[in-house]
Structures are given as structure tokens and as C-alpha cells.
Amino acid sequence: MSDKMIDVRDLRVSFGAKEVVKGVSLAVQRGESFGVVGESGSGKSTVLRALAGLNHHWSGEIDFDGVPVGAKRPRAFFRKVQMVFQDPFGSLHPRQTIDRILSEFLAVHGMDDMDGRLNRALEAVALPQSVRFRFPHQLSGGQRQRVAIARALIAEPKVLLLDEPTSALDVSVQAEVLNLLAHLRESRGLTYVMVSHNLSVVAHLCSRLGVMQHGELVEQLSVEDLRARRATHPHTRELVELSRSLETPV
């Protein structure tokens, strides 16, 4: 069995005549947390959507757990690979209870022990069972993102794809959610790919990262090298300086 959970080779994505992802290659080891950072428009979220099977218009090769995947994925893929979106309010149906939102996935996949799975998913993200019968607008932003994480976990996936999972949250809540994600990865042996514009957030959760600029992955390095100022690409150094001046230093 390969140690690689995700293997991407020469990924390219175009919108019309404009190529927005230009030959990205990366590998993520089983149980690793890998970050993709870059400014708005760098192509990082487009890479994540191609990995998630949400963008069908790409070329190149993508393997999950040693198995090649195409543009359209079988239903079984979405039990193994789940995505957590940036805006928890936008990703949760406003007129459905949390119980209904979480049950829907189980029903689609014909999974048994619905009640037990729901309870265990909420417990895993430190939410009380009473949350089941509330609507998204009755929860705080941090609670809504915990529900979104619970929905992703309910399938018992191997991979979570995280699209700016804390950017819509207050700074005080961001750390709580990042610590929760770190605990879940360690306790469940999950593999993460997280996209963020915030180097500090990536350094908190990930051991390695790739830096994107204008659709290209211009550098890959460990967070240890990042902290030691061993980045070699000028854009990575720019992002480090920006992080030092605007946010908590990495």
C-alpha cells in the first residue's frame, strides 16, 4: 500500500480561454495535513474543488488512496472524501433543522444506525444533542462550523478538504475550531488538505504547505522551514512578511 493518500500530477483547470491552474503537482501522505496558501485569485480553491469532484473541467491525474479518479466521481468517493466549506451559514440549509441536515447524507448513502451516527458526530465536535433540533440561524458561527465538520465526519471519511474553514469566524473562535480539527485528524487518522490565505492558520494545523501564485504551485516546504525563514521563492517570502505585519506571526 502506498503511503500517499493524495497524488496530483500536472493538474490544469481553465475557465474559457483562461488557464487558472497551471500544471500543479503535489502529494499528501496518509494522515498528513497539507496546506495550500496564496492570495485571492491564485487558484488555490480551484485546486481544492477539482480534488473534491466539484469541478469537472480539469486535466491531469488525481489519485486517492492509490486509485485514479476522473472528473465525475462515484457515490462511494464521497464517503471517503468530504469537504468543509468557508461559510458555514451558506453551506447549511437555512430552513432545515440540524437533525435533518445531518440525516440527509446518511439517507442518501443508505447508512444504518442513523440516530447513533448523528449523536456520535455531534459528540465528536463537542456540541450538545439539543443542537439537533435547532436551525442554523439559532447557532453561533463557531457552532455552525462545528455542525459542518460533523456533517463531513458522519460518513467516516479518510480525507477532509478544508476551504478556508475558519476565515468567517472571530479570531477567538478560530483557534478553537483549528484545535478541534487537529484533534480529529490525530484521533481518527484523517488526511487533510486545507486552503487558506492566512499563513498563521496553515502553520497552526499543517506540517507542510504549498504556495500558489498566478495558478502555479511555486514552492513546497515544511512549516518548520517556513518558521526558520528558509523559504526560497520570493512570493513565499512576501507572504511571510505580510503575515508578520498583519496577523499573528508564523
The x, y and z cell numbers of residue 113, run together, are 444506525
The x, y and z cell numbers of residue 197, run together, are 490565505
User: Nearest-CA neighbor of 161 among 190, 191, 193?
Assistant: 193
> Contact, 218 vs 233, CB < 8 A?
yes
> Contact, 5 vs 64, CB < 8 A?
yes
Q: Give the residue ranges of the chain where pLDDT is below 50.
A: 246, 249
CATH of the domain at 239: 3.40.50.300
b/e string for 126-146 if b means 16 or more Cβ within 10 A?
ebeeebbeeebeebebbbbbb
* pLDDT tens-digit series, residues 197-235: 889 899 999 999 999 999 999 999 999 999 888 999 999
CA gap 101, 74 in Å, rounded? 22
| pLDDT for position 32 | 97
Residue 74 domain boundaries: 4-246
For residue 220, the one-letter residue type is Q
| pLDDT for position 247 | 52
Domain tally, the chain: 1
| pLDDT for position 228 | 86
0.85 exceeded by pTM: yes
Work out the angle at residue 197's Cα, subtended by the Cα atoms of residues 17 and 66, and round it to the nearest 5 degrees: 70
